[in-house]
Structure 1
C-alpha cells in the first residue's frame, strides 16, 4: 500500500529534507492541529445538538485521550510503517470530521442523546485515533533528516500543529456564518483529506536508514521503570493539563472579561501564533543548550509567574486585567507548544534514536490523560464557583510541581 503508491509521484521529486520530511510533516500537522479550534465552534454546536457545552466538551477530551493512547500503542508500528500509518491517519481524521458534520446536520432526527454519542464517536474516538497516528508519523523521519538539528526538525513539524489554529480559526468562524456547522466540517474534511494524502505520498525516511526488522512492533511499557522517563512523563502531563485548562476556554474567558467577538478572533490568532512560534522557538533554542531539559524549566517558571500575576491582580481595572490575561495566554500557549516540540529531542538525548517513535508514543500517553483532566479542571471550577479566579491559582500550583519535577527527576544522571 505504501511503497507502490509512492513510486509514481516520487519519480519526479528532488528528495531532500524539505521535500520528503518538512513539507509532508507540515501538511499532516497543519491538518490535524485543527483539533485546537474546538472553542471556535463548540458553543454553537452544543446549541445545535441541545446539550450543555460542558457535556459536549467531553468530545474534545476524548479526542485528546485517543490521540495519546493511539500514539502510545501505535508508536512502534508507525516506526516501521510510516506510509501505512500516514494513510490510516488521513482516513481516520477526515472520517471523524465529516462524521461530525453529518451528525450536526441530522441532529433533529437523531435527538440530543444519539447526536452526542455520535459526536463522541466521530470527533472523539475516530478523529482522535487519526490525530495520534498522524502526530507521531513524521517525527522520527524529521529527526533523521535533521540529524544535527533535531530540535529544528521536530519544531518545524510540530509548529504546524500549533499553526493550524491560527489558520483555521478565522476560516471556521467565517464558514459557520456563511454555510453553517455541517458544511464547515464537510469543506474542511475534504481539504484536509487532500493535504494529508499529499503528505502521505511525499513522506520518506533517508535512504541509508534501516529499521531493525527483528525489533518488536508492540509498545514497550517497561520504559516506565526508568526514573528519568517517569519524570518526563509527569512534567509533560502537567504542562498539557494546564495548557488545555486555558486553551479550551480562551473564547469563554475573554467573553467574561467583556472582549468583543472581533477582538477575540484577533486574540485567538495571536495565541495560535504564539503556540506555533513556541513550538519552533523553544525546540530550536534547545539545540544550543547543554541539556534540553532547561527549556522546560524556562517554560514552567514563566507560566507560573503569569498565572500567579493574573490571580494576584483581580481587583485592578478591567483594561489592565484584559492585557494581563492576554499576556498570560500568549506565554502559556508558547510554553504549551514548546513542551511538545522539544519532547522528541529530549527523549532522544536520554534514550537514543533507534526506538524513539515507540518511546515518544508512550510519552504521549500523558497527553491522553491530560485530555481527560485539563479542560475538566476549568469546567469543574466554573460549575462550582462561577469564576475563573480559582483556576489561575490551581494552574500556578501545578506549574510549580512541574518545575520541581524538571529540576529533580529529569536532571542528567
Structure 2
C-alpha cells in the first residue's frame, strides 16, 4: 500500500477538513445579533435562518443518501459548492439588508451543503476502520463539534472591536467576515474532496442492484426506535444547551465564556469517547442507555442539591451541562455504526441520511421547548423535570424497541448472509 494511500490521509483528514468547515454553523450565536443590528431586524426574525439551516441539513441528508452512496467525489464537491456559495451569499444579502436572501443563502443553500457534507465521509471512514467503526465516526464527527472552538476566535477577530454596548465599531465587518470565511472553507473542503477515497479493492455496490426500500426502512420497528431516541437526545440537548448562558446567570456564575469552551470540549470529546466505547461492547445500543441514564442521574442530583450554596450550585449546573453536551455529541457519532450493525453497510449512507431527518425536526423543537416551558413557568427546575422525563422515554425506547438483532433489507450481501444462515 502506498504511504499516501492510507486511512488517515484518505479518510480521517478529509473528513475532519469537511466537518470542521460545516460545523461552523454552530457559531451562529456569535454574530446573529450583529446581523440583526446591521439589517435593522429583530434577533428573533434573523434566528429563523439558523433553524432553517438545521432543518434543511436534516432533510437534505434524508433525501441525499442515495446520491452520496453512488459517488462520494461528486457529493463532496457538491457539498463544498453549496456550503461556500451559501456562506458568500449570506454576506451579500446582509450587505443588501435582505432578510429573505439570508434565509435562502444561509438557511437553504448552505443547509444543503451541510447535509450532503455531513453524510459524505461517514461510509468511507467505516470502510477504512472496519473493526473500529465507532472510533472512525467519532474522529470525524468530533470535527463538527470542535469547529465552534476553532472558528470562534477567528470570527471574533474578523468582526473586530466593539463599543461599551457590545456594538461593532465597524459594522461592515459582519458581511466581509462571510466573504473571507467562504474563501477559507472553499480551500479546506476542496482539499478534503481531493483526498477522500474508499479503500482499494472495495467495489461500490450499485444502489439499483440492492432491493433497498424506503418504505421498509421507515416502517421498521428498529429504525423507528433509533429515530425516536436520536430525536429525543437532540431535542433535550438543544433545550438545555440553548439555556446554558441563562442558567449560569441565574445562579450568579460569571465565567460564561470559560464554561462555553468547556462544554464545547465535552461535546467534541463525547463524540470520540462514546462511539469508541461502543466498539468494545457486544451491543452498541448500550451506549445510548449510558447517555440517557447518566443524563437522568445528573439532572436529579442538580434538582435535589441545587441551592445549598453558590459553589455547589455552580458545580452541579456546570457538570450537568458538560454531561449533556458529551451525550449530545456521543449520540451523533454513535448513530452511523449502530445503523451499520443493524442494517449492514451496503446502504448505510441512505439509512443514515433518513435517520438524520430527526435532526431536522429536533432543530425546530429543541430551542422552542425550553423557551415555551420557561415562558409558562419561569422555572429552570420545571424545565429540567421535562427534559428528564424525555430522557426516561428515550431509555425505555432503547431497552424495549431497539433490539440487538440485525435487520435485513435484501441487499446482495444480506441475501448471501441469509443463505448462509439457512444452510447452517
TM-score (structure 1 length as normaliser): 0.89
Which residue does the alignment assign to 2:214?
Answer: 220
Which residue does the alignment assign to 1:106?
Answer: 96
Unaligned runs of 5+ in 2: 162-169, 406-424
Contact kept? 2:14, 2:195, Cα under 8 Å: yes
Unaligned runs of 5+ in 1: 1-11, 108-113
Give the one of 70, 75, 79 matched to 2:65: 75
Which residue does the alignment assign to 1:168?
Answer: 151
Give the one of 27, 34, 43 matched to 1:44: 34
Which residue does the alignment assign to 1:8?
Answer: none
In 2: Cα distance, 1:237 partner to 1:106 partner: 36
In 1: Cα distance, 2:68 partner to 2:356 partner: 14
- How many residues align? The count is 393
Report how far residue 385 of structure 1 moved: 4.2
1:156 and 2:148 correspond: no
1:60 and 2:55 correspond: no
Alpha carbons of 1:48 and 1:247: their partners in 2 closer, same or farther (altered >3 Å)?
Answer: farther
Which residue does the alignment assign to 1:338?
Answer: 330
| Max Rg structure | 2
1:177 and 2:163 correspond: no
Report how far residue 247 of structure 1 moved: 2.6
Report how far residue 142 of structure 1 moved: 0.3
Which residue does the alignment assign to 2:23?
Answer: 33
Which residue does the alignment assign to 1:9?
Answer: none
In 1: Cα distance, 2:63 partner to 2:198 partner: 21
C-alpha distance after superposition, 1:198-224 (max 9, x if no partner): 000110111211122234799724202
Contact kept? 2:149, 2:261, Cα under 8 Å: yes
Give the one of 364, 371, 394 matched to 1:402: 394
Report how far residue 267 of structure 1 moved: 1.6
Contact kept? 1:72, 1:358, Cα under 8 Å: yes
Report how far residue 327 of structure 1 moved: 1.2
Which residue does the alignment assign to 1:134?
Answer: 117
In 2: Cα distance, 1:249 partner to 1:217 partner: 45
C-alpha distance after superposition, 1:14-54 (max 9, x if no partner): 11111111100000001111111222222333333333433
Alpha carbons of 1:131 and 1:299: their partners in 2 closer, same or farther (altered >3 Å)?
Answer: same
Give the one of 180, 186, 193 matched to 2:179: 186
In 2: Cα distance, 1:258 partner to 1:144 partner: 49
Which residue does the alignment assign to 1:247?
Answer: 241
Report how far residue 146 of structure 1 moved: 0.5
The farther-off stretch of 57-66 and 47-56 is 47-56
Superposition map of 1:17-32 within 5 A: 17-32=7-22
RMSD: 2.1
Which residue does the alignment assign to 1:5?
Answer: none
1:196 and 2:189 correspond: yes
Alpha carbons of 1:30 and 1:217: their partners in 2 closer, same or farther (altered >3 Å)?
Answer: farther
Report how far residue 190 of structure 1 moved: 1.6
Contact kept? 1:140, 1:356, Cα under 8 Å: yes
In 1: Cα distance, 2:37 partner to 2:373 partner: 22
Contact kept? 2:54, 2:363, Cα under 8 Å: yes
